[in-house]
Amino acid sequence: MLPSPIPTTTLTVQPSPPPSPAPREHGDGGGLGLLLILAVAIYAIGYAISIHLHPLRTCRACNGTGLQRGGIFTGSMRICHRCGGTRRETRPGARTPDRRHR
C-alpha cells in the first residue's frame, strides 16, 4: 500500500485584541432605593389617613366582648382591664381624644 499524502496547512497566529471593558450599568441601585423610600412614604401616609378615620380597633384582650374570664375561677367574668368594658382600644399611632400636647 502506498501511503496517502497528508495535507499540510500553515497556521498564522495573530494576537487577540485586548478585552473590552464590561458594559456600564445604568445607575448604581439608586433607583431601587428611591423606589423603596417612596413605597414606605406612601404606606405611612395611608396608615396616617386610616388612623385618622378609624382610631379604634377591637380589643385584643377580650376579643371585643368587654369581659374576661377569671384567672382561678374560670366560670366567673370580670370587666376587661385593657378596654374597661368598652370593647374597643386605640390603634398604635392614634392619640386619645382627651390627651393634649403641652
- Give the DSSP per-residue string, 69-100: E-SSSTT-EEE-TTTTTSSEEEPTTPPPTT--
Residue 59 in 3-state DSSP? coil
| pLDDT of 69 | 83
The per-residue pLDDT for range 55-70, each reduced to its tens digit, is 999 999 898 899 888 8
Residue 15 lies in a domain: no
Residues 55, 90 contacting (CB under 8 angstroms): yes
Residue 46, in any domain of the structure: no
**pTM of model > 0.75:** no
49 lies in some domain: no
Number of domains, the chain: 1
| Strand (E) or helix (H) holding 58 | strand 56-58
Is residue 84 domain-resident? yes
Classify residue 36: in a domain, yes or no: no
Residue 74 belongs to a domain: yes
CA dihedral (25, 27, 28, 34) positive or negative = negative
Domain that holds residue 84: 61-94
